[in-house]
């Protein structure tokens, strides 16, 4: 019984730290101190340590000898690589999903687009964006690939969310591209739908990397 309780506490701590990392509350390179987190959350150091190991496996935390844990910093080349993985996996998933996709899937995706249009939900953009893509790929019935893809999304979400919040143009273009993808899926046009998806992911990638390079040149 105690072992089950510890695992539950670990998951609660991991969920809280993951949320802070993906929202930007914990910034890349920032140290995550076990003692401080344990005190703040009212738990022992054991579930905090286990949660950090879990997040390390997800790529969100880096455990450094003699320094402890810090939020993983991704280089532009690593971010570009993760986007390439996204294109490969999501194209494959979407192509398999379209023949099984239903109107209820598409309506759910459109509701998520509407939620993302609401400025009050901007802090939840990453979660909503993942739910949008997940909804479209679920009919493919590829649960193992979906788990891998979720991890890829989590690793680049904090960067994408920052990009989306920089300008209204970025937000509006994302909304238009999402709706175009849904429309193509509704028409069962797999070739067009996958092409639109690839263009969408590539556009986010190019804009994000351009802003990261620009930011580095100013520092």
Cα 166 from Cα 180, distance rounded (Å): 23
Question: What is residue 180's predicted lDDT score, i.e. its pLDDT?
Answer: 98
Beta strands 61-64 and 68-71, pairing class: antiparallel
- What's the pTM value of the predicted model, to 2 decimals? 0.81
Residue 23: give its domain's CATH number.
1.10.10.10
Question: What is residue 117's predicted lDDT score, i.e. its pLDDT?
Answer: 85
pLDDT at residue 4 above 90? no
Domain boundary residue, one of 71, 101, 127:
71
Question: What is residue 1's predicted lDDT score, i.e. its pLDDT?
Answer: 40
Total structural domains in the chain?
2
Domain boundary residue, one of 46, 71, 96:
71
Q: 97 with 203, same domain? A: yes
HSE value, Cβ hemisphere, 13 Å, CA-based, for 128: 24
Domain boundary residue, one of 40, 71, 102:
71
pLDDT at residue 7 above 80? no
Cα 150 from Cα 62, distance rounded (Å): 19
| pLDDT band (50, 70, 90) for residue 2 | very low
Q: 123 with 203, same domain? A: yes
Q: 107 with 213, same domain? A: yes
Q: 87 with 172, same domain? A: yes
Q: 114 with 10, same domain? A: no
Q: 8 with 115, same domain? A: no
Q: pLDDT, tens digit, for every residue of 134-186? A: 999 999 999 999 999 999 998 888 888 766 665 667 888 999 999 999 999 99
Name the least confident of 8-12, 121-125, 192-196. 121-125
Q: pLDDT, tens digit, for every residue of 24-55? A: 788 888 999 999 999 999 999 999 999 999 99
Please provide the average confidence, as pLDDT, over all residues in the chain.
Answer: 88
Write out the residue range of the structural domain in which residue 148 sits.
Answer: 76-218
């Amino acid at each position: 019984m105690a072992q089950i309780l510890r695992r539950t506490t670990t998951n609660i701590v991991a969920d809280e730290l993951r949320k802070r990392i993906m929202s930007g509350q914990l910034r890349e390179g920032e140290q995550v101190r076990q003692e401080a987190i344990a005190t703040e959350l009212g738990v022992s150091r054991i579930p905090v340590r286990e949660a950090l190991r879990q997040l390390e496996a997800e790529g969100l935390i880096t455990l450094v000898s003699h320094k402890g844990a810090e939020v993983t910093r991704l280089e532009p080349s690593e971010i570009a690589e993760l986007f390439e993985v996204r294109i490969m996996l999501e194209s494959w998933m979407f192509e398999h999903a379209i023949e099984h996709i239903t109107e209820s899937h598409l309506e759910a995706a459109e509701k998520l687009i509407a939620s993302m249009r609401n400025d009050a939900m901007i802090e939840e953009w990453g979660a909503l964006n993942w739910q949008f893509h997940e909804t479209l790929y679920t009919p493919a019935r590829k649960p193992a690939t979906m788990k891998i893809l979720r991890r890829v999304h989590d690793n680049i979400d904090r960067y994408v969310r920052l990009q989306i919040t920089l300008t209204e143009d970025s937000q509006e273009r994302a909304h238009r591209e999402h709706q175009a993808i849904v429309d193509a899926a509704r028409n069962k046009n797999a070739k067009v739908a996958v092409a639109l998806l690839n263009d969408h992911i590539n556009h986010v990638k190019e804009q994000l990397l351009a802003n990261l390079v620009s930011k580095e040149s100013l520092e």
